Amino acid sequence: MSRLLQNVPLSVPASVVSVVVACGLAAQLLPPLGAGPIANRTLPGARPEIDASRFPTLQAALDAVPPEGGIVRLPPGHFEITSPLVLSRSDVTLVGAGTATHIHNANTTGQPALVVKHPDGAQVKSADRLWRVRLADFRLTGTPRSGHGVVALWINELFVQDLTVSEHGGDGVRLDHCYEDPRISDNLITYNKQVGLNLLGCHDIVVSSNQFEENNDALSCTDGFNLCMTGNCIDDHLRHGVIIENTYGSVLSGNMIEECHGFAVIMDRDCYGNTVSANIIAHNGGGIDLRDAHGCAISANTLTIMKTHAVRVGPGSGRITITGNNFSNSYIGAGGIKRRKNDEAAAGLTLESTRDVVVSGNLFSSVKPKAVALGDSNSQNILFGDNVLIDVQSDHKRSRAVGTVLEAPAAPADPARKP
């Protein structure tokens, strides 16, 4: 008892002393935490985490994943590789310490950095395909002579999150027939020599909140279904922004696509039933190019200072709705236009031998050479109605069209120009 009272000041009231003594006695009587018959047991079903820092190589850590799956934690550090890392289990999370975990592919023969696949590769049987793999929180870089960054082959429910994937000689992330529910979110995909994110034969795809910078193309989705691409930032690409081929039931919404040398969005090879809506498409070589698309809607986009064809509907496309879009230059009101004299290009809508197109509720302002340009006079069944045209010329009356147009006067010229 006296040992319990050694550290109690003399001025403390007797009631408090009693509480201290009682608590001390209780602590002495209770067994230590974890003691007793269950002290040495682990949670039933639990598997230990794999700490890659305890292995001689990163590949050795990946090989240590049991058939049932598990988690591999990559430590902070710079790790040089010259041959692909291979992950070949289901139900695996491979997670690093953010960009402090840096894996650099120094391979010079075009091999990828990280491959996720069954040991049987493309010949894997349907029943044996891998499921539920997550790649997260590390940095993956390459060189112009290395291959792709991440290659995933026939992986279902793949989740790629918070990766930085840069400077690879091939694609940044390449998903080859990751058929069921791939999710790609919150990644930074930059400076790759081919496509930032290449989706081949994928289905029910979510691409959200990523940043793409200076890849050759930002994203390509080929032979797929149901792409949901929202809230991405796509900037400064050496060729095109988003290329969609032979893919239906897809939506591009709420993306910012700026300064691609080619087109911001291309639809080709039997696309149908897609929507491009509420995007900012600014200062690209071209805007939305419908090369082979049917039953698609282009709505509520801001298409500003496009060098050629803000929207083009080609001869392979038809049954298109174009509504509620703003086609504009850099006019800012009383201050004139924002862009310098040598950067004033701002294009409108081009129709080339197409048919069955609704163009309604759009604003065309100060775009050149024309608000609506007809590549020829063969476009048919064009409804051009309830649009506003300001300070433009237009060919819409030359088409075999019906509808009305509201023509507003040209904006007043202002000699003041802002750089």
Token pair for 1: 């008892």
Confidence at residue 344, expressed as pLDDT on a 0 to 100 scale = 79
How big is the chain by its Cα radius of gyration, in Å? 30
Task: Decide: 36 and 17 in contact? Cβ < 8 Å.
Answer: no
Of residues 185, 146, 137, the one with CA closest to residue 164: 137
Q: What residues does CATH 2.160.20.10 cover in the chain? A: 50-408
Which CATH fold topology does 50-408 show? Pectate Lyase C-like (2.160.20)
Rounded to whole angstroms, how far apart are CA atoms 357 and 354? 8
Angle 278-214-337 (CA atoms, 0-180°, nearest 5)? 55
pLDDT at 336: 79
Instruction: Give Cα 62 to chain centroid, integer Å.
Output: 27
The pLDDT of residue 418: 41
pLDDT the model gives residue 337: 84
Give the Å distances, CA to CA, from 288 to 200, 357, 370.
Answer: 21, 15, 16
Taking a C-beta distance cutoff of 8 angstroms, is the pair 299, 277 a contact?
yes
Q: For residues 154 and 106, what is the distance between their CA atoms, to the nearest angstrom?
A: 26
d(CA 299, CA 276): 6
Where the chain has pLDDT below 50, the residues are 1-5, 7-8, 10, 16-17, 19-23, 25-27, 29-30, 33-35, 402-408, 411, 413-419
Do 105 and 170 touch, CB atoms closer than 8 A?
Answer: no
- Quick one: pLDDT at residue 233? 98
pLDDT of residue 11: 55
Q: What pLDDT, on a 0 to 100 scale, did the predictor assign at position 41?
A: 67
391-395 own/partner pairs: CB under 8 Å, 24+ apart: 391/365, 391/366, 392/348, 392/364, 392/365, 392/366, 392/367, 392/368, 393/369, 394/348, 394/364, 394/370, 395/370
Apex CA 91: angle with CA 159 and CA 65, to 5°? 120
Written as one string, the DSSP assignment of 294-356 is ES-EEES-EEES-SEEEEEE-TT-EEEEEES-EEE-SB-GGG-BSS-GGG-----EEE-S-EE
Residue with tokens 């081919």: 194
Nearest to 150 by CA among 105, 90, 213: 105
Whether 236 and 212 have beta carbons less than 8 Å apart is answered as: no
Q: What is d(CA 349, CA 327) in angstroms, rounded to the nearest whole number?
A: 8
User: Which structure tokens are listed for 354?
Assistant: 């197409």
What residue type is assigned to position 291 of the chain?
R
